[in-house]
Structure 1
Amino acid sequence: MLSKSYKLVTALLLATYVTTGAYAADKVKKEESKEAITVENVTPVRIESIPSTVTNYPLSSLDWVDPSGGLGLSGVTPKRSVHFSIKKDELITDSALLLYYTPSPSLIPVRSQLNVYLNGLLVKTLPIEKVDLGNKVEKEIPLDPRAIGDDNIIEFEFIGHYTDICENPVDSTLWLNIGAASNLRLNKQKLHIANDLANFPVPFFNITTSDKTVLPIVFATVPDESTIKAASIVSSYGGVLTKWRGIDYPVFINSLPDDGNAIVFITNDNRPYFLQEYPKTDVPAIEMADIPSTLTGKMLIVSAPDSEGLVTAAKALAMGNVLFNGPLSKILEYKEIEKRKPYDAPNWIDTSKKVTFGSLATYDEQLSSQGFKPIPINLELNLPPDLYFVNGSRIDMNLLYKYSKPSPLGMSQLRFLVNDHLLRSYPLKPENESDVITENMPLLGTLNLFTKSKVETSFLKPMNKLTFDFNYSMLYTSKVNECTTQLPIPNRVEIDPASNIDFSGLYHFTLMPNLELFWKSGYPFSIYADLQETAAVITTPADTSDLCALFNTLGRIGAQLGFSSTNIEIVTDISEKTEDRLALKDILVIGQVPDFLKTDDNATLVLNKTRQAISTSFNNQMPNSFSSEKRDVTQKMTAQSSEGLGAIISFRSPLNKDKTVVAILSDSPSGMEIVNENLILNASSSEARGSITLFKEDRSRSFDVGESYYVGDLPWYQRVYYVMLDNPWMLMILSLFSSVVFCIICYKVLKRIQKARLLKKSQRKAQ
């Protein structure tokens, strides 16, 4: 019995051992298999060391500095600030502020000092020594990189003393000047960010710092019309994002840039060498991926089954990227419900109704200011460039403002300036704390219909700055041998957001050609913000410099309008059918003007490798005094020079008298590169005016020659009214003529009445 029990226990133990061993072996096998799968499928983490770079920012390049590039501190304005930003894909490892400043020689040493703050934290107190008085002082202040964020403010506080008693804060000897040569040194290290479209537009477009964006566009081969349109939509959207910062689009064909980010356009049958193994797609898609040859570079891959699908992907990127998330987003459906209406660009005000100042403000507290001398309140006012102003045109402004009560002594006032020109001044009454001003302001005209000459206005332009400058009188007095210490109270002023300005009732009518309107507002293409009545003609799509010119131009226009060119038409095939496609379009030509657009009247400039020819008029000296009366050709010249000349010309379209052609020309790729550099917003001081503008390096020169014409809609009775308004002698002649006609009519009527009365009288006598 015991033997049987022993055998049973032994059997159970053996079974347990075998089962446990099998389970353990199976578990080990599964773990090994799992480990093998993990090692095989997980993408290796990039651990390369990313080097840092040192960048010096002059004080003059930072925000909120004086026009001189420096900062002036005084007893009235003892605090001033500068602002700088850091890109979201950058890390600051070290930083310092190299400060050059000059204190007044009348200050008391040591008691006078300069405090430096970073984002509200005191960084350094610089006592003003005796040897510093009246001399240029150099100090280097280390800044803690841990205190630097995306948006940063460096504040300077001046504490100045010039006497032991009875100090007057408005005394002219209380000053300290921070020089424009001061600079901010930042050690930056690029971050390798995750491939997540939720971060878009980072890192492709710079939307934080003041630096321009350089974003290469990559094609597999010479692009067709649909592919160019897709790239045009994305490039104009880049301008919308970067705004005033400027953006440059170098073009690469079947190659990648050596460094930085890029946008790559591919289809299932057309892809560059480095994406040959990229999976084919059945719907348009957007993906963010690493550029293998760089440490931090990213590429935005715009893919579709065909080139028409690229247009859909580009529109989705420009209009619906808020839905994008993760490394890849597929566009399952995109519908454009309605096109833009004329003159409804987001960056332009609505001229059909009153516009409140609150809608013009771009950040909180923009409509308020405080201080002993409050900083002027500035608002940007962007108008459609073809608004017709003449002498006698008026606009209504309803201004509501609040202010802390000024001293009854002296004179305090609010000055209203437009583009730094004084328009009105209003007293700040000591007995009030607010006021309401209703103005019907006259405007200086930009056109004169009778003489057809341009009259520049110093008041309103396509881009305007409204300034409300509150000035308080400050009086501090004391009797002899008596001194009362007064602590001045900072003043506070506010513009009510409900204040408004009304441009309704003005007409859209302007004299063309006028390259200044194109340069500053993209006119006439910008009449429709989506460029639905614009056709871009690319005569040499294989030339990367020409493609770059197109994309830079559209990026510039996108920044000016605030909307992407989703409905622009691209034309590369120059044939007989092309004329029909362009008959109802304003035309943007890149490269060379096609023969069907050339006429004897517009052949004012020829640029090619063999010769350069130009026709000029007496409108070639002062752009501010260009006159249509002097547009006739007076000189013609033909030359053969070294390459490196670019130009922009404008003339009436021979296909439609109501449409305009703007052509960007060059004698070579190097000449087009010069134009491209000048097309970038705020990249140079060059300007375009008249009908021809030539670019050589960083210089430009404008000419006004050839046929002039009007664009827009101005009713006939308004034309008569404006002619009379500008020419009183014509009004006098018309009045005399009207009086004579009226007298003749009255005479005829009275004679008829007299004749009828005499007839009745004679009939009575006959009876």
Structure 2
Amino acid sequence: MLKQLLTIVLIGLASLLGTTSANAAEYEATFKQLGFQEPLNIRGINGQISVPFSVRADEVVLSASVNLLFNYSPSMLDDLSHFNIIVNGEAIESVPLKKENAGKISQRTVNIPVRLLAQFNRLTLELIGHYTLGCEDPVHSTLWLNVSNFSKLTMTTAALPLGNDLGLLPAPFFDPRDRLPMVAPIAFAGTPNNPTLEAAGVVASWLGGLASYRGYSFPVSVGSLPADSNVIVFLLPGQTLPGLTVPQSNGPRLSMVVHPGNDTKKVLVISGRDENDLKTAVKALVLGTQSMNGSTVMVDGEVAAPPRVPYDAPRWISSSRKTRLGDLVDQTALQVAGQYPDLIRVPMTMPPDLFFWRSEGIPLELKHRYTLRTENDKSTLNVSFSDKFIQAIPLRSEQDMWPFEKWIRGVLKKPASVNEESVSIPREAFSPNGQLQLYFHFDVIKSGECKDAPINNIQAAVDKESTIDISGFPKFMHMPDLSTFANAGFPFTRMADLSETAVVIPAQASTATLSNVFTLLGRVGDLTGLPAYGFTLIRPNDLAGVDDKDLLLVGNFQGDELFKKWADSMPLEQNNQLWQLKTGGGFTSFVQQWAPWVGQKAQLPVTSLSLQGFDPSGFMVGFESPEDSGRSVVAIVGSETGVSKVLEAILSPDDVQLIRGSVVFVKGSTVASVLDEKTYSVGSLPIWVWIQYYLAELVLLNVLFLLGAALLFAFVLNRILKDMAKKRLEKRE
């Protein structure tokens, strides 16, 4: 009986693999895409490093391999030295380190047995290195193996059909096991109106927040379904798509159905009686207010979104209280082990308008513990922020402690290896979308020849109760500054739900433009960690009905009267098909030319810039809204390709660092920024801080103020002395 059952299972599996092999897909991911931004450096006599990778829930692996690019020390003995390739704890191959190939790039492709693979996997590279037949230093400088982060993992997979179950959401569109960029097509039966696009934008922001560092894109189609993808469809009464059969909706509805053109893919249908129903269904989806089970869910009643306050984005450091590092990352991410541990990385998104003037920096209270050092050495905890070094904290040994301190620690039951340190993140190191980097450097203790042994029990951790505190900083900054938009979505993300934002698109927006808008909203969701369910989408002719909102323009506005209307407020001016940077002028330019000592605020020189039409360049411009004083406009405009290039620059960790000022243009691979002299301010300061700040910036005004104060003091003192003299004379008389 058991034999017959096993035969049936094998036949079924063979049938599955046979039917899915035609739909097999090959995926490639470099180690850089898997999270390693730098090459993998393995050091020591028995050093190792692991690369995590995973398999989507809706796929089965047919074959897998890893293509390694590596270099190693010429000083290692080739008859004793090698490195092991280990998958999930099982060694699959040992690669000898031959002397003739040392010191240059080598390549090795190794097949991975699919029987070893699970949903979450770990590829470990272990160096077994020796440089002499005698006594060895276990951390000798000649024991190294360098593996390029362009080494590649390749997997051939076949799709596993999933059930029509809404409980699987956000799968199959987003799977946390997938380290590759998420592609989530959005389809409409007909040309979508503004409220329908708002509903789709909320879904895009939700998925962008989930995909986060992996990347995301949202191809848009109208009137058809992409054949080889899972698709999100929005339907209103009377609308349908070829092959898609969905019952007429009598309220907000979410349905999961099989793709009519590909039975391994799914279609999420969001439908309703009108646009309000679409928005209600979307809110229920992204806010999780209703249980999602089965193939269809009807949403009952209105979905109330929780009220938001400024600067309360879930992924931002709190502006009202201290924030624990344990609230930002899991406790396991704060722990390291080994002689050469990895960096502890804590992503930190903060309001870009923190006012640092006359501040030592952002206070950081670090509680850390480590395997106690047996003697004094040069071990340190190195603190950096966004690759900018801040401070090295010595890791103390018992020899560093006075007897009284040891006694106090004993009374308080506080081990010698547990310490606290106050650190300040200075303005120069601050980045609104930054990363706190903590590295435990353990000094190598040399005991003498043939006495050194590798220490395998070194452990260290930063306590989850460590805190960062920005609650004492006012919010104020000069604008425009496109770096704050590129890195933190500011000022739009000041309200995490974008409730004070209007997104403006051309009257006739193409599918490529809509895709760009959804990608930008995905970026916003990624930065805030909250779906953008509060924004308003309008066309240029609708601006008159929008009050007190920041404006985000996306698309090709060539020929639109909007920019002509705003010409006086923009740092660019349009002359027929030619865009030119304004050369500035006015009082600020006059003062800087004839009295440069008056103002101390540095201004970058204005660079001449001309753009012919909209193609193939794209540019981004920021300025104060002509519609509402104190509000901001950010316009990402150009051809469809040009706008896409600007978005690619925003999403690129390298190119985003080049974005600043009030005008950014992208042409090909070139990203250039220009700082315009026109500025306005957002936020507010306490009145006395405001007076001190502006007086401190204007040296001449300070001199005049002090001179006036001195004259006033002299005048008052003179009057007092005269009165005293007069009274003295009167008494004598």
TM category (shorter chain) comes to 0.7 to 0.9
User: Is 1:586 equivalent to 2:519 in the alignment?
Assistant: no
User: Is 1:428 equivalent to 2:392 in the alignment?
Assistant: no
- Count of residues paired in the alignment: 684
> Structure 2 vs 1, CA of residues 473 and 631 (structure 1 numbering), >3 Å: closer, same or farther?
closer
Partners of 1:112 and 1:440 lie apart in 2 by 43
User: Is 1:613 equivalent to 2:568 in the alignment?
Assistant: no
SS at match of 1:426: strand
TM-score under structure 2 length normalisation:
0.85
User: Is 1:200 equivalent to 2:169 in the alignment?
Assistant: yes
Larger mean Cα displacement after TM superposition, 314-323 or 672-681 = 672-681
User: Is 1:375 equivalent to 2:342 in the alignment?
Assistant: yes
Partners of 2:375 and 2:391 lie apart in 1 by 22
Which residue in 1 is equivalent to 2:298?
A: 330
Q: Tell me which of 182, 186, 190 is aligned to 1:221.
A: 190
> Structure 2 vs 1, CA of residues 654 and 98 (structure 1 numbering), >3 Å: closer, same or farther?
closer
1:241 Cα deviation (Å)? 1.3
Alignment of 1:4-403 (within 5 A): 48-49=19-20, 50-63=22-35, 65=36, 67=38, 70-75=39-44, 78-129=47-98, 131=100, 133-134=102-103, 136-275=105-244, 277-320=245-288, 323-336=291-304, 338-361=306-329, 363-403=330-370
Partners of 1:315 and 1:160 lie apart in 2 by 57
1:749 Cα deviation (Å)? 3.6
Partners of 1:369 and 1:523 lie apart in 2 by 34
Partners of 1:383 and 1:180 lie apart in 2 by 30
Contact 1:354 1:504 in 2 (8 A): yes
The residue type equivalent to 1:211 in the other structure is L
The residue type equivalent to 1:217 in the other structure is I
SS at match of 1:365: helix
Deviations 1:142-193 (A, max 9, x none): 2121221222211111121222232111222222222445322211112221
Contact 2:349 2:488 in 1 (8 A): no
Contact 2:28 2:155 in 1 (8 A): yes
Partners of 2:94 and 2:211 lie apart in 1 by 37
> Structure 2 vs 1, CA of residues 605 and 516 (structure 1 numbering), >3 Å: closer, same or farther?
same
Which residue in 2 is equivalent to 1:656?
A: 628
Deviations 1:216-235 (A, max 9, x none): 21112111121111111111
Partners of 1:252 and 1:541 lie apart in 2 by 15
1:386 Cα deviation (Å)? 1.5
> Structure 2 vs 1, CA of residues 521 and 109 (structure 1 numbering), >3 Å: closer, same or farther?
same
> Structure 2 vs 1, CA of residues 344 and 81 (structure 1 numbering), >3 Å: closer, same or farther?
same
Deviations 1:232-283 (A, max 9, x none): 11111111111122211121111111321111110123333444x5311111
Contact 1:644 1:674 in 2 (8 A): no
1:107 Cα deviation (Å)? 2.2
> Structure 2 vs 1, CA of residues 303 and 684 (structure 1 numbering), >3 Å: closer, same or farther?
farther
1:638 Cα deviation (Å)? 7.0
User: Is 1:471 equivalent to 2:434 in the alignment?
Assistant: no
User: Is 1:563 equivalent to 2:530 in the alignment?
Assistant: yes
User: Is 1:721 equivalent to 2:692 in the alignment?
Assistant: yes
Which residue in 1 is equivalent to 2:492?
A: 525
Aligned-residue CA RMSD in angstroms?
A: 3.2
Partners of 1:397 and 1:501 lie apart in 2 by 5
Larger mean Cα displacement after TM superposition, 82-91 or 302-311 = 82-91
> Structure 2 vs 1, CA of residues 371 and 434 (structure 1 numbering), >3 Å: closer, same or farther?
same
Contact 2:46 2:126 in 1 (8 A): no
Which residue in 1 is equivalent to 2:422?
A: 439
Which residue in 2 is equivalent to 1:9?
A: none
Contact 1:677 1:683 in 2 (8 A): no
Deviations 1:654-689 (A, max 9, x none): 1111111122222x4444454455565669768533
Contact 2:611 2:617 in 1 (8 A): no
Deviations 1:259-315 (A, max 9, x none): 21111110123333444x531111101111111112422111000011221111111
1:346 Cα deviation (Å)? 0.7
SS at match of 2:468: strand
- Unpaired segments ≥5 residues, structure 1: 1-44, 445-456, 620-625, 763-767
User: Is 1:748 equivalent to 2:719 in the alignment?
Assistant: yes
Contact 1:612 1:640 in 2 (8 A): yes
Partners of 1:670 and 1:66 lie apart in 2 by 28
User: Is 1:688 equivalent to 2:659 in the alignment?
Assistant: yes
> Structure 2 vs 1, CA of residues 631 and 652 (structure 1 numbering), >3 Å: closer, same or farther?
farther
SS at match of 1:556: helix
> Structure 2 vs 1, CA of residues 618 and 57 (structure 1 numbering), >3 Å: closer, same or farther?
farther
1:533 Cα deviation (Å)? 0.8
Q: Tell me which of 458, 465, 471 is aligned to 1:498.
A: 465
Larger mean Cα displacement after TM superposition, 330-339 or 495-504 = 330-339
The residue type equivalent to 1:398 in the other structure is E
The residue type equivalent to 2:660 in the other structure is R
> Structure 2 vs 1, CA of residues 583 and 485 (structure 1 numbering), >3 Å: closer, same or farther?
closer
Deviations 1:698-757 (A, max 9, x none): 433223336321111123321222345567887677556545544543453454455445
Partners of 1:513 and 1:239 lie apart in 2 by 26
- Unpaired segments ≥5 residues, structure 2: 1-15, 402-415, 586-599
> Structure 2 vs 1, CA of residues 722 and 760 (structure 1 numbering), >3 Å: closer, same or farther?
same
The residue type equivalent to 1:704 in the other structure is L
Percent of aligned pairs with the same residue?
A: 29
Partners of 2:425 and 2:79 lie apart in 1 by 55
Which residue in 1 is equivalent to 2:678?
A: 707
SS at match of 1:551: helix
User: Is 1:461 equivalent to 2:461 in the alignment?
Assistant: no
Contact 1:601 1:706 in 2 (8 A): no
The residue type equivalent to 1:183 in the other structure is K
The residue type equivalent to 2:125 in the other structure is F
